[in-house]
Amino acid sequence: MQHIIVKGEFAIERKICLQTDPLPYAICLCPYSLTSHSLTSKSVALKDMSEMTDKFECLIQGLMDAEHGVVENFISPQLVATLRANLLARLAAGEMIQAGVGQDNSFQQNNEVRRDQISWIEDDQTDRGEEEYFRLLWDFLGYLNQTCYTGLNAFESHYANYDPGSFYRKHRDQFKVDSGRKFSVVLYLNDLWLEAEGGQLIIYRKDDQVMVSPEGGKVVFFRSDVNEHEVLPATRARMSIAGWMKQVH
């Protein structure tokens, strides 16, 4: 199924469509839209909105042209610092747990496959930084639905910390028994990352592979059901928020 979106003078053919019967956009409203902080951030200047729209477009275009989208400085350095401090606080409080693979009955912790520690971000979180980031992601989810008929209606995410030497071997993000995860969105929280420190994300494409370095503020976007990917070990701690846009019924 293809959709033609007219932008400026050009007709852009959009091919991202995960279902034949799109959900009305109204069902996919951000659950945070009624909280007081959100009302404040909702009134951010129109300029910021169009800046975000450009970033969303860049991620979508990258996905269509190169099987992955990357945007540097997706969020402000201040927000990166806030989210990194949250992760470090969870780590210090012993709240980051050894990550597993699989889901429900097939869930297992296997440190030959992945060695990161994670902490889920709950839907009812009250942290301002998390709320600000979630708002952007829900805006992006709505934007995808409106422009690519993706019918997304849920989102889940967790902090991840990779200690030096930790990795996540080649995998896909969509579970075998649950196809809910459609798109992966990873935000990096690392200050001044050097190429030589490793920790790259390798994304396997149809004919080749690309490497993405985990610089703070960068977002990478790819399909959870299509692209295998892996996280290489790094020489210093590597921090991120991994998230998945979903279609749940």
Residues at the interface with ligand OGA (CB under 6 A): 160, 168, 173, 186, 201, 229, 231, 240, 242
CA distance 183 to 152: 9
State the nearest-atom distance from the C-beta of 212 to Mn ion, in Å.
Answer: 12
3-state SS class at 198: strand
221 binds, among Mn ion, ligand OGA, none (CB under 5 to 8 A by kind): none
186 binds, among Mn ion, ligand OGA, none (CB under 5 to 8 A by kind): ligand OGA
67 binds, among Mn ion, ligand OGA, none (CB under 5 to 8 A by kind): none
Provide the β-strand partners of residue 220.
Answer: 70, 186
CA 167: distance to chain centroid? 18
CA distance 28 to 20: 17
Could you tell me whether strands 209-212 and 168-171 are parallel, antiparallel, or unpaired per DSSP bridges? unpaired
Q: Which is nearer to ligand OGA, 141 or 242 (CB)?
A: 242
Q: Which is nearer to Mn ion, 67 or 173 (CB)?
A: 173
132 binds Mn ion (CB under 5 A): no
Please state whether 196 falls in left (phi above 0), alpha (psi between -120 and 50) or beta: alpha
State the nearest-atom distance from the C-beta of 184 to Mn ion, in Å.
Answer: 6
Give the residue closest to Mn ion by C-beta: 173
State the nearest-atom distance from the C-beta of 175 to ligand OGA, in Å.
Answer: 11
Q: Which is nearer to ligand OGA, 132 or 173 (CB)?
A: 173
173 binds Mn ion (CB under 5 A): yes
> Beta-carbon neighbour count of residue 64 at 10 Å?
15
CA distance 130 to 189: 13
State the nearest-atom distance from the C-beta of 178 to Mn ion, in Å.
Answer: 15
160 binds, among Mn ion, ligand OGA, none (CB under 5 to 8 A by kind): ligand OGA
Q: Which is nearer to ligand OGA, 53 or 175 (CB)?
A: 175
210 binds, among Mn ion, ligand OGA, none (CB under 5 to 8 A by kind): none
116 binds Mn ion (CB under 5 A): no
**Amino acid letter for position 110:** N
Among candidate residues 135, 154, 156, 133, the one with its CA nearest the CA of residue 23? 154
CB 101 within 8 A of CB 156: no
CB 75 within 8 A of CB 216: no
Residues near Mn ion (CB under 5 A) are: 173
